[in-house]
Structure 1
């Protein structure tokens, strides 16, 4: 197109005006994804990143901070459109979701949402030779930094460290309407934050001379989570079998013992998807007494012949019964010769101490470790249980990197799954579960578990678990049963026990105990279509499977810190008995709720008292919920010709997307799924559905039974359809 003379002049003026922004003052420079300014002797980048967030980048070089962090998802190549704002002495960038500004004279920065509302009005910064601090006033309540500094949902600090079943991360969502995530120059010395006792000011601390503070407007916890996973990565799904019941213990005696337990589970109709083996699967003696030089003959990468004289054959037999093999791993070596190799190559964290822990961040060590582990995968091992890896903050990240890379080589396109005792940001990209550590078999520890797992959910760790029954000690029957019942509503359901205690095998706990646990396990498996679909929702949107009530009812101050009841998705309210005696009070927020078993209606806000028999679980469903309920099966991959039940809870319109796939591959990341979008019209009493996606495996449901109260209607799914309840 040929421009006229007047148009050329106007274009030239616009270009010159734009250039003037960056030339009139040498402190202002345009850089990729934003601008670089100089204020207070500090180079400051204002960047737009990942189609979700701003980055306030402080550094001591001319270029913007180029911190390389495993916390950030580098596979997300999304580019954010932005415009530069120049109103000297204030400069900034503006995107569709807000703007980030700084005054180079006062050195004050501020954050705004898309509507121009100021979210942070007076941010300041300071630096020394060893650290950077970023401070601003703050309003609202803070959520999301983990469970180490406190198990409460509301936070006032994060010490950003990892421990036995606990983790703090440099992140929070503020109810004032934004989220923040800090990245330091060293992932193993992460940023921390805390606010003053009167909650008026918040300070981030970054070790070193560089700091990246990511900020994004987020009106709700859902908005915060959505932006967070765009930044640090989507939570990949474990294989579907990991959503079933996982039976663990320390103390599997021998091969006959394993075969007997397998037989008992199947003949007693106790659903289970995996056996998890402690030390005894690979060594005859734990390594806790092994000296730093190692022990001659210690086995690190073989099967213990007492338990597995024929590993491949025995594991294949377990799998024929729908039972996967998960083996414990430690982040260290016990064999003296292997330790000599590791020490010679510089693969230990600190070779001068008694520690035998491996430095998995070393690429050479990971490659060696993979090849030592490959024969175990070739024998049929399905997943790993990684324990005691808290020696440095990113240990589990690099450890899982080695295991994932090996799996991709040995078993291409099979989903990675591990159980880990802590986590750091970014680990959710693996298909990663964290359990709440080596806890005791007491009622207070049971009550703490949902506190831990809800905090995990808000911190970006979507697959939380615990040692059902507690690890240390033998629980009373009532305690174990109630723990199983709570476990139905955890993202991952796993029991475990210390050596020398009574195993958490349901058939060891009396007829009434076994019957109550069987009932709980049956419910878990019936809810798998719902829970697995929520896993897909988490991957696609960042919404966690296990959610605190405050996530759905943010203005209800009664539930701001409530953890003894929670939501699974948006519609299922779990209120298990967490104390001795079967009695508890249950709070219902402002909505209409249905008793899952009786259909009785409760209208909130309201608190009721319940008294439940040993086999009874308090669980309720929110009006407008469409709940898919599958048949009772003995393991997740077992097929059934029984129609999928679609339970409808009237009172308002509702919708739900049920997702099916091949259960084990990463093809779902390439949209190879089958999604059935259900919609309930409360006015016309009509359930409609539409099926989309290219997946068409034999495991998909072909018929449904729509259930509305006592009314039932069977229909073929097809591509779309509807049923009307008159």
Structure 2
């Protein structure tokens, strides 16, 4: 939201008051409390008829400082509030010191200095050792605003006709870029954008987002987490070019500044604050196949799909039943359509026993349709959100007469979990939690009267996914739970995993999805997926095959569409050519399967450190390379593999390699970075490069499915290694078995961990000569 009309004028209908000086500094239990009048105080008379802002600057933990700005402290601070420090708050002994530059609060490696000059407002955030300036709150950077502008101060005695805002403006340095703020599909660098953090079902081709996360990462070595689930408006160099403005409607605004100095360290500290991602089981990394959305299917269709995939040498680890496993007009009532699935428990058991699939997932949402079996019971028991007059809140958008489960009601949570347990009893292993964005804020009253409906809008995604995830954990174990969620907010990374929502079947939409995955990964989400081939429309064969290559290099991979199937033989009339859809899918599925020893080990590190597995933004691995902060068409898979999807029908692709020697995964040819390169690829490859000094462990060629022994019969591939290069070996549960390491003599230490007929290749992996014919360096 913009409060000004350019540099000199206030926006029409708005009154703005700024903190003009720090009048008083009081030391508190955790830091400093600053009294900041909205005019400079030169005499006692200046203290009258004037608003003040209180800015509390406190040490949260090492490298993290909170800043809370308050106008009227008597305003009730309703919930819900983010569940911060879920694993416990680290101890911190803050330090307050006074010197020539002012009063400084230090929280380990991060400090904030309040300038000591009279009649100034100046707060600088910097590394405690003084080596790095991060950002500042300077003159006219903290304030309050009214709209409409009151013509007389007496009018503010009745605030019912006014909106009140608090805002802060942190400085942007020259060349500084800003990233994150959830899964956003527009420009990767947010500088110059206006961003509203408000969950919405807008698809991937709009400025709306399913997953709004109130955290952004700066290229200068810090991040900002805004501590409220309510709507937040940001003007990122878009109102004042040299500042990031954060505003909320209300009387207080709190955010945390998080110091790295590296972006990985920023995310590590952010994950301490909001929660680390949880582990997901090895089977979830395999290929997921969906029925698609409005397609016509029954038990015979499902079986034919899985048999067709097996015949085409593509194992499916998870089969997903989308919406129409329930009858039309009944979603979500947790009841299989008896005409199409007369005995779902037996059917699911048959699928698993046949070996066609390991696990089964079903679609649900938090909406309860009036015509479904669940509505009457839920309404009578008070499990659904109500209007202020006591009636059940309903509308006809999406499902006729649908209500919304009120997860602030503990009894509603118990009931919902019992419905989920009914699905688990029938053999369901995973849940796709769709929707959850269109949460009403007007004329509603939650069971928990202490919550603010506007704050519940974004926060609903957290409590709903938490309910389902914990139900899965209770049934299957703490590390076996898997969601496939669309809506999210800060902290929802604790309940993996998520996918990118509704994208079109176009190369532009694939690029949108890449940008969305990169941004969400920079908010601490380790695991991310998308609809291979695009959701809306029917993909052309070339788009499908290029998307297959991209999708199988994401942490999780799912074939899913809207009104058309995504099994490969329906895309290109069942072509049997080597570069047809079926063979392309088989090759990329096999590649991901072979990568599982590497992927699963990297996933463990991602969970421990709060990092994305894939898509991992280039800046996380190469923060000192300025180009890395602007790369939005490529990504890292873990720390050692670089992937660049192909977006052009010709197969031509341009990509960037940072400094070092990089080896093509497909040909073992090397390139030296930094620099931009162009290649042309067939459908069985893309620019996939291995970082120098990498020990890459691959599964045995021909292994089927994502679950196998990751230490047996493996191929250990060495890429320009030096002494100390290493790779962790993990078992099927993700537990570390030990480390393979290059010793002083160039030999491989830790060989006793390996089993079976394993091999070692010193110059990269054993490659197939066929790739030499389909990859052209331009």
With structure 2 as the length reference, what TM-score do the two structures score?
Answer: 0.78
Can you list the C-alpha shifts for 1:633-677, whole angstroms capped at 9, x where unaligned?
3222245895122211015456344252453xxxx7xxxx22422
State the alpha-carbon separation in 2 of the partners of residues 686 and 515 from structure 1. Answer: 38
Please, which of 245, 259, 262 is the counterpart of residue 217 of structure 1?
259
Q: Which residue of 2 aligns with 1:257?
A: 301
**Following the alignment from structure 1 to structure 2, what is the Cα–Cα distance between the partners of residues 188 and 307?**
42
- Give 1:595 shift: 1.4
- 1:125 equivalent in alignment to 2:190: no
Out of 682, 704, 710, the residue aligned to residue 634 of structure 1 is 704
In the alignment, the residues of structure 1 paired with residue 596 and residue 605 of structure 2 have an alpha-carbon distance, to the nearest angstrom, of 14
Q: What residue in structure 2 maps to residue 22 of structure 1?
A: none
Contact 1:149 1:159 in 2 (8 A): no
Cα offsets for 1:600-645 (capped at 9, x unmatched): 1111234333222233333111211111111233222245895122
**1:373-414 Cα distance to aligned partner (Å, 9 max, x none):** 221112121111112221131222111122123224333435
Whether 1:688 and 2:749 are equivalent positions in the alignment is: yes
Residues in 1 aligned to 2:709 and 2:86: alpha-carbon distance in whole angstroms: 38
Tell me how far apart the structure 2 counterparts of residues 48 and 503 of structure 1 sit (CA, whole Å).
54
Relative to structure 1, the CA distance from residue 440 to residue 145 in structure 2 (aligned partners, 3 Å threshold; closer, same or farther) is same
3-state SS in 2 of match to 1:499: coil
Q: What are the residue-to-residue correspondences of 1:213-292 with 2, within 5 Å?
A: 213-250=255-292, 251=295, 253-281=297-325, 283-285=326-328, 287=329
Cα distance, 1:73–1:575 mapped onto 2, change above 3 Å: same
Contact 2:24 2:36 in 1 (8 A): no
Per-residue CA deviation, residues 191-233 of structure 1 (Å, 9 max, x unaligned), is 6453346631221113222222101222222122112111111
Among candidates 41, 57, 78, match of residue 46 of structure 1? 57
| Cross-structure match for 1:580 | 649
Residues 613 and 662 (structure 1), Cα distance of their counterparts in 2 relative to 1, 3 Å cut = closer
Q: Which digits, 9 at most, give the CA deviation of each residue in 1:157-194, with x for residues without a partner?
A: 4321223353332221222232111113xx23346453
Offset at residue 305 of structure 1 (A): 2.6
Residue 497 of structure 2: SS of its match in structure 1? Answer: strand
- Residue 69 of structure 2: SS of its match in structure 1? strand
Aligned to 2:529: 465
Aligned partners of 1:299, 1:211: CA distance in 2, in Å? 37
In structure 1, list runs of 5 or more residues that go unmatched: 1-24, 288-294, 693-699, 713-726
**207 and 691 in structure 1: CA distance in 2 versus 1, 3 angstrom threshold:** farther
Deviation at 1:573, TM superposition (A): 1.4
Q: 1:63 to 1:52 in 2, by over 3 A?
A: farther
Q: Does 1:616 align with 2:685?
A: yes
CA contact (8 A) 2:658 2:674 kept: yes
The residue number in structure 1 matching 2:428 is: 381
Relative to structure 1, is the Cα distance of residues 701 and 361 closer, same or farther in structure 2, using a 3 angstrom cutoff?
Answer: farther
Structure 1 CA distance, aligned partners of 2:611 and 2:724? 18
Aligned partner of 2:602 in structure 1 is: 534
Q: Compared with structure 1, are the counterparts of its residues 633 and 73 closer, same or farther at alpha carbon in structure 2 (3 Å cutoff)?
A: farther
Q: Report SS of the residue matched to 2:324.
A: helix
SS at match of 2:696: strand
- Given that 1:76 and 1:233 are in contact with CA atoms closer than 8 Å, whether structure 2 keeps it comes out as no
CA distance in 2, matches of 1:452, 1:299: 28
Q: Show CA shifts across 1:302-355 (max 9, x none).
A: 122344322222222333324211111122112446434444526226545515
- Give the 3 Å change call, closer, same or farther, for CA 63–686 of structure 1 in structure 2: farther
Matches within 5 A, 1:394-433: 394-430=459-495, 432-433=496-497
State the distance in 1 between where 2:765 and 2:255 align.
55
Aligned partner (choices 26, 29, 39) of residue 28 of structure 1 = 26
CA distance in 2, matches of 1:138, 1:208: 25
1:424 Cα deviation after fit:
0.9
Aligned pair partner of 2:179 in 143, 147, 161: 143
For residues 752 and 341 of structure 2, the distance between their equivalents in structure 1, rounded to whole angstroms, comes to 46
5+ residue gaps, structure 2, are 1-22, 38-51, 146-162, 204-208, 397-401, 439-456, 767-778
State which drifts further: 535-544 or 92-101.
Answer: 92-101
Q: 1:274: how far off?
A: 0.4
Paired positions, count: 657
Contact 1:675–1:691 under 8 Å retained in 2: no
Q: 2:368 aligns with which of 333, 336, 350?
A: 333
Rate the CA distance shift 1:62–1:473 in 2: closer, same or farther, 3 A: closer
Question: Of residues 519, 536, 549 in structure 2, which corresponds to 1:455?
Answer: 519
Q: Structure 1 residues 268, 352: CA separation in 2 closer, same or farther (over 3 Å shift)? A: closer
- Distance across 1 between alignment mates of 2:27 and 2:78: 16
Where does residue 646 of structure 1 map in the other structure? 716
Q: What is the deviation of 1:27? A: 5.9
Q: Which digits, 9 at most, give the CA deviation of each residue in 1:506-530, with x for residues without a partner?
A: 8964212211211111001111111
Counterpart check, 1:493 vs 2:557: yes
Secondary structure, counterpart of 1:489 in structure 2: coil
Paired residue secondary structure (1:472): coil
**Structure 1 residue aligned with 2:88:** 76
What TM-score, normalized to structure 1?
0.83
Secondary structure of the 2:66 match is strand
Whether contact under 8 Å (1:216, 1:227) holds in the other structure is yes
Does the residue aligned with 1:579 lie in a helix, a strand or coil?
Answer: coil
**Aligned residue among 760, 765, 770 for 1:706:** 760
Change beyond 3 A, Cα 1:559–1:75: closer
**8 Å CA contact retained: 2:407, 2:463:** yes
CA change 1:640–1:460 in 2 (3 A) is closer
Pairwise CA RMSD: 3.2
Counterpart of 2:419 in structure 1 is 372
Q: In the alignment, which residue of structure 2 is the partner of 1:590?
A: 659
Check the 8 A contact 1:330/1:389 in 2, yes or no. yes
- Change beyond 3 A, Cα 1:535–1:493: same
Instruction: Please give the secondary structure, in 1, of the residue aligned with 2:106.
Output: strand
Rounded to whole Å, the distance in 1 between the matches of 2:77 and 2:378 is: 34
Q: What pairs with 1:191-206 in structure 2 (closer than 5 Å)? A: 192-196=234-238, 199-206=241-248
| Pair 1:304-2:304 in alignment | no
Corresponding residue number in structure 2 for 1:99: 111
Residues 34, 45 of structure 1: 8 Å contact kept: yes
Deviates more, 1:111-120 or 1:226-235: 111-120
- Indicate conservation of the 8 Å contact 1:249/1:498, yes or no: no
Distance 1:494 1:343, change over 3 A: same
C-alpha contact 1:325 1:382 (8 A) present in aligned 2? yes
Q: Is the 8 A contact 1:655 1:677 kept in 2?
A: no
**In structure 1, the residue corresponding to 2:655 is in which secondary structure?**
strand
User: Which of 626, 634, 645 is the aligned partner of 1:565?
Assistant: 634
Structure 2 CA distance for partners of 1:113 and 1:27, relative to 1, 3 Å: closer
SS at match of 1:315: helix
Shift of 1:454: 1.1
- Output aligned runs, 1:55-66, within 5 Å: 55-59=66-70, 60-61=72-73
Whether the aligned pair in 1 keeps the contact of 2:64 and 2:110 (CA below 8 Å) is: no
Q: Does 1:114 align with 2:158?
A: no
- Contact kept, 8 Å, 1:240 with 1:636, in 2: the verdict is yes
> What's the counterpart of residue 5 of structure 1?
none
Q: Which one is further off, 339-348 or 226-235?
A: 339-348
Question: Whole-Å Cα distance in 2 between the matches of residues 558 and 414 of structure 1?
Answer: 37
User: Partners of 2:461 and 2:637 in 1: how far apart?
Assistant: 27
